[in-house]
Structure 1
Amino acid sequence: MNAKTKWALWTGGAILLIFYPKVLGIYYSNVFVMFAIYALFAVSLNLLLGFTGLLSFGHAMYFGTGAYGTALALKHIQGLPLIPAILAGVLAACLLALCIAPLVVRVSGNAFAMMHLAFGQLMFVLALKLRHITGGEDGIGGFEIPPLSIPGIASWDMTDPILFFYFAVAVIAGSLWVLWFFTKTPFGQIMVSVRDNAKRVNYLGFRVPHTKAVIYVISGSFAGVAGAVYVLFQNLIAAGDAYHIFQSFAPVMITMVGGVGHFAGPICGAAIFGLLEELTSRYTDRVFLVTGLVLVLVIMYAPYGFTGWLTAMRMRWAARKMAYRKLGGSASEHSGNQKLVSRLQRTESLDGCEPADHPR
């Protein structure tokens, strides 16, 4: 894909988002905002799971802490502007990640996953018990959402659903771009090397625990961004919404369905789950049953997720095209053609492939 095509796609996407709420209305604008929030939440987890090889069953504690940080700031600080309120939630999630990182970065695999499951449940219990701070099961809600203001220039009312749509999409799109850019930096390549061969990274002079700690804090902070936008959108946050175990499983399922290790995988997964939830909720209230069935089918038949399946299809098509092109050559190329046909047959037996962005 050349630069002109990319610019055309980005421009078309921006125009589509500008007219989206005006064409489809407030309801589908709200659906899109929820999709975007969970896409960012899942991408922040994918930074750990797909790019660093660290599975977390407690990532909701950063999502919830970001939400509670913003809600408490708006509730107790009169006249707090919108951007500092969001930054308060992100700072709370970042500080929590800084506190937990020294305890978890020296382990990996099952130990890492189980430690986060324990920490996540601990945060859930604390949110229930500290009712005077968190509101417990009732949560914190009804706080005033400040306008987005540029002093002396303009002010936009964030209680307007369409204006909030543009604001939320801008914040989340900017966060996704920052995370994407981070994966393309030299440190992002070290991150992938930690996933593939941590011992070799250590031999090269990079301290693996310190590298994991930086990635961990960045991941938790951007989960906090998703939580901060979520609480502004819902104008309510409770213990169940913030720290429940299902909230931690959600980004894991989204990432696995979309494609672990691909940056766009969680975004595709969030779109798939959002579409499934929207369609199934019209006919049944057993949405979790349907999404669980989809997850099982993906693990069985497309273990690298939707983006992995697309990559396999692209490889299959490219191999077939190359083979057919070679088969049209001279008879002296017969031996080479046989090898190409054999490669094509092997390619067509693929159920998936390794992440294209960062092959193992």
Structure 2
Amino acid sequence: MNKEVFNKQAANVLVWLLLLAMPYWLPAIGGYIELGTRVVVLGLAAMALNFLLGYTGVLSFGHAAYFGLGAYGAGMTVRYLVPSTGLGLLVGTVVGAVAGAIIGPMIIRLRGVYFAMVTIAFAQVFYFIAFRWSTVTGGDDGLTGWTRQPLHLGFTTIDILHNPTAFYYLVFVVFAVAIAIMAWLLRSPFGRTLLAIRENERRARFLGIPVDQHIWISWTISCAFASLAGALYAYVNNFVDPRALYWTQSGDFVIMAVLGGMRSFWGPLIGAAIFVTLQDYVSSQTENWMSFVGLFFVLVVLFFPRGILGMIRRKVAS
């Protein structure tokens, strides 16, 4: 086993151990369990975007649409249909994935800024629907009057409403399954094909690879993971409002991916941890917290263009 493979495996083990023990070590350093839950959920959303951005080379500024659809799908299922946490997760994920699959063929032939702008446009359509359809979505006041429900497993019931540790581990299990599927896809021939498209799309076409079809599949998978993260985020807050669909939310996901390192698997999760922690701490000190986060982002882009994880890898390699 060479040094690079050993370092990668050691990093994977360290990340999983930190996530598994987060409810115990995070309060010891001044944090709280709900903060760790938000990091994991938004980390999943950023990694979903990175599936498209970092591994396919296509930039979307509209992933808030599918994040928000997942959130509304989960919240509206619990409020209007069946008070079931599991069913809400399933419906939210399916709604966002289907929306992504339908929109995908309309945009997959676009590239660069054109692709990014069209994804924003579709996201804003969903935002205005949620904002205006107040009789169903609650409009600007948000979807209220519902909460996440206890998990009934037959032999026992887990109270994820009043027990933040139990809810964290529910989120962790869902995150672990999603990340395992994502890693498997990226290591498969399909994932290697995405890397070929990212590195040189023209050459990939010459090799006979159906580029547009692969981008559409990558887009749909990315939207599905983002929707799953949105459904979990609805349960974190027991509330959904149109801001989950707004374009600035998409910008946050891009910032998280770039901060951590958008061409690395764990980079977006690290970026999400930095972003959420900074947001939580700085916003408690000043109303101008966005200025500080923006300045930090600019400094990282200028001095560490491969992100925080890229900088760490460089130090380890040297």
TM-score normalised by length of structure 2: 0.91
Residue 15 to residue 310, structure 1, CA distance change in 2 (3 Å)? closer
1:216 deviates by 0.6
Deviations 1:16-65 (A, max 9, x none): 246457x6599610000111111011000011111111111111000000
Say which SS state the counterpart of residue 233 (structure 2) adopts.
helix
Q: Separation in 2 of the partners of 1:293 and 1:216?
A: 30
Which stretches in structure 2 are left out of the alignment for 5+ residues? Answer: 1-5
Matched, 1:194 2:197: yes
Tell me if the contact between 2:56 and 2:194 (Cα under 8 Å) persists in the aligned partners: yes
1:312 deviates by 2.6
- 1:75 is aligned, of 66, 76, 79, to 79
- Matched to 1:271, the amino acid is A
1:206 deviates by 2.1
Deviations 1:181-238 (A, max 9, x none): 2211111110111111122222222211110111111000000011000101111101
- 1:120 is aligned, of 113, 118, 123, to 123
Q: Separation in 2 of the partners of 1:53 and 1:86?
A: 28
- Matched to 1:38, the amino acid is L
- 1:262 is aligned, of 258, 261, 264, to 264
Matched, 1:50 2:20: no
Indicate the structure whose relative CO is greater, using CA pairs within 8 Å and at least 6 residues apart. 2
Which stretches in structure 1 are left out of the alignment for 5+ residues? Answer: 318-360
Tell me if the contact between 1:57 and 1:117 (Cα under 8 Å) persists in the aligned partners: yes
- Matched to 1:39, the amino acid is G
1:257 deviates by 1.0
Percent identity of paired positions between Structure 1 and Structure 2: 30
Matched, 1:222 2:221: no
Residue 4 to residue 303, structure 1, CA distance change in 2 (3 Å)? closer
- Matched to 1:269, the amino acid is G
Say which SS state the counterpart of residue 169 (structure 2) adopts.
helix
Q: Separation in 1 of the partners of 2:74 and 2:246?
A: 19
Tell me if the contact between 2:147 and 2:235 (Cα under 8 Å) persists in the aligned partners: no
TM-score normalised by length of structure 1: 0.81
Tell me if the contact between 2:123 and 2:247 (Cα under 8 Å) persists in the aligned partners: yes
What CA RMSD, in Å, does the superposition of the two structures yield over aligned residues?
A: 2.3
- Matched to 1:166, the amino acid is Y
- Counterpart for residue 353 of structure 1: none
Q: Separation in 1 of the partners of 2:222 and 2:108?
A: 13
Say which SS state the counterpart of residue 253 (structure 1) adopts.
helix
- Counterpart for residue 273 of structure 1: 275
Q: Displaced runs of 4+ in structure 1, greater than 6 A? A: none
Q: Separation in 2 of the partners of 1:97 and 1:237?
A: 20
* Equivalent runs, 1:129-140 vs 2, <5 Å: 129-140=132-143
- Counterpart for residue 351 of structure 1: none
Moved more, 129-138 or 96-105: 129-138
